Amino acid sequence: MAEDLRVLLVAYAFPPVGGAGVQRMLKLAKYLPRNGVTPSILTVSNPSVPVLDETLSRDLPPGMEIVRARTFEPGYQVKQAAWTASADVKPTLRRRLMKRATGIAKQLLVPDPQVLWQPAAQLALARRLATGKDHAVVISAPPFSQFMLAPLARARPSVAVVLDYRDEWSTYREMYEMMGSRLGAFLGDALEASVLRAAHMVTTATEEFRENLLNKFAWLDPARVEFIPNGFDPEDFPDDLPAPPSDRFVITYGGTVFKLTSAVGFLGGLRRLHAREPELAKLVDVRFIGRIVDTEAAAFEGSEELGVRRLGYRPHATVMRDLAASHLTLCILDDVPNVEHIYPAKIFELMFLGRPILTLSPEGALTRLVRDHGLGEVIAPRDEEAIAASLERSVRAFVASSPDQRTRPSFSASKVDRFDRRVIAAQFADVLRRARR
C-alpha cells in the first residue's frame, strides 16, 4: 500500500464558481481519495466571477475541509462595466473616467486581477502550513497570480509543491479580458521563472504546454514536468440522457464564447447555408449555451433569423443533457496566437458523449486529438465556405435518414479510457508521491 497523503488544493475557480475551469480541481477532490490521498481546498470566499453553479458541489467528498479567504477584487458587475466602458466608441464622461481607471488597473494588477486575492490567500496558507496538516500543496492556474503562493508553500521543508498549468501563462495574458499590461509583459517571464523554481513538480494540461515550458526554461528538469490531460467523468452522464429530435437538426455549442473561441466563422458558414439552401437551412436549430462576452456579441446580431438561440449559462448537468439532445456538437478554437498548443477541456466530455463533433480549429493540439480519436470533421475556423458545405452534408444526411436513425446520431471514439477522471486522479496521486522524494 502506498502511504496515505494529505494534499491542499489551491484553486480560485472552485464551487460555487461555475465554468470549465472548475472541473480539473473539482474532479481531483472527488477522486483522489480512491488513491490514498485526502484532499482539502483553499479557495476564495467571495469570487469575482461571471457565473456560479451550486450543483457542482455535489461532487465534493463528504466532510472535506474547505478554507475560504476573501479577495479585495470588486464584484464582477463592476469589472463588466469597466470593460464595457473601455470598448465604448463614444463614451460619456463617466465612462471615460472608468476607462482611464481600468487602464491603470490593467497596468498595476500583475499578473491578473486576482492578485487582489493574494493578501488573504497568503495569510490563509501560512496558517494552514503552520498546522502541519498537509504533505503537499497543488496550485492550479489560471489565474496565474495563485502561483505566487508557491514560495511560501516551499518554505515548509516537509511540504511538496506542485504547480498545475491548465493554460499557458503567456497565452492567457494575450487572450483574456484583463490584458494589455506593459508591466505584466515586462515582468511575466521573470515572475514565472521565480515561481517555477519553488515547485518540486509541474503538471501541464497538454503535451504542447510541457514542451514549450521546457524550451522556455531550459533549467527545468524534464523528469519533474508531467503532462496530465483534462478528461471526462462518466458519472456526469446519466443513463437517461435525452435523444435528439427527429423533426429538426440540432447543433449545440457549450462553453464561453470569447476571443479564443470566436464563433464568427461558424456563423458566417451558417449564413452561407441559409443563402443558398434556405429550405434545408430551416431545419437547423443552433444553440449556444454559455456566456458570450461583449466583444463577441456583435457577431450574433440578427442570428435569430438563422435559427440561432443564445441560452446563456446553465448548470453543468443541464448542459450534458443539452449536448446529448444534439445531432452535432461544436468545438471551436479561433485562429489566434499560440492556439496550436491548446485544446478545450470540453472536447473530452463531447468525446465520451458519443455525438458527432464538428471541430473548427487551426492545425495543432486540438486537431491532432480529434483525428487521433476519430471524433469528427476538422475545418479551419474562418473557412466559411467549407463550414457551409459541411453543414449542408450533415443536414442532407439527416433528411435522408429514417426517423429512428435521426434520434441515434452516435459514434464511438477510440482510446478514450486514459481521459477518464478516475485515471487522471491516479496520475496526479503518482505525481504527488514523486514530488515528495
Q: Which residues of 396-430 are buried (b: 16+ CB within 10 A; e: fewer)?
A: eebeeeeeeebbebeeebeebeebbbbebbbbbbe
Specify whether the CB–CB gap between 126 and 154 falls below 8 A: no
Write down the pLDDT at residue 96: 63
Amino acid sitting at position 80: Q
| Beta strand ranges found along 123-182 (DSSP E) | 136-141, 160-165
Q: Are 309 and 235 a contacting pair, CB within 8 Å? A: no
- CA separation for the pair 54, 206 (Å, rounded): 28
Q: What mean pLDDT comes out for the span 62-75?
A: 94
| Pairing state between β 284-289 and 376-379 | unpaired
Q: Is the pLDDT of residue 144 over 70?
A: yes
Gap between the Cα atoms of 193 and 98, Å rounded: 34
Return the DSSP state at 428. H
pLDDT tier, 178 (very low <50, low <70, confident <90, very high otherwise): very low
- Mean pLDDT of the 151-156 span: 96
Q: Where in the chain is the domain with CATH 3.40.50.2000?
A: 5-231+420-435, 236-406
Give the integer Cα–Cα distance in Å for 400 and 417: 34
Least confidently predicted of 130-144, 162-176, 218-232, 418-432: 162-176
Three-class DSSP category at 288: strand
Picking from 252, 435, 262, the residue whose alpha carbon sits closest to that of residue 357 is 252
Q: Which three cell numbers stand for residue 14?
A: 472552485
Q: pLDDT tens across 92-140, in order?
A: 766 666 556 555 556 557 788 899 999 999 999 999 999 999 999 999 9
Instruction: Kindly report whether the global pTM for this prediction surpasses the value 0.95.
Output: no
Cβ neighbours, 10 Å, residue 364: 17
> Each residue of 189-246: pLDDT tens digit?
889 999 999 999 999 999 999 999 999 999 999 999 999 999 999 999 988 899 999 9
Record the cell numbers describing residue 21, joined without a space. Answer: 475551469
pLDDT digits (tens, 9 = 90+) for 365-403: 999 999 999 899 999 999 999 999 999 999 999 999 999
CATH class, domain 236-406, is alpha beta
Options 3.40.50.2000, 3.90.730.10, 3.40.50.720, 2.20.25.10; CATH for 5-231+420-435 is 3.40.50.2000
The span from the CA of 226 to the CA of 53, in Å, is 30
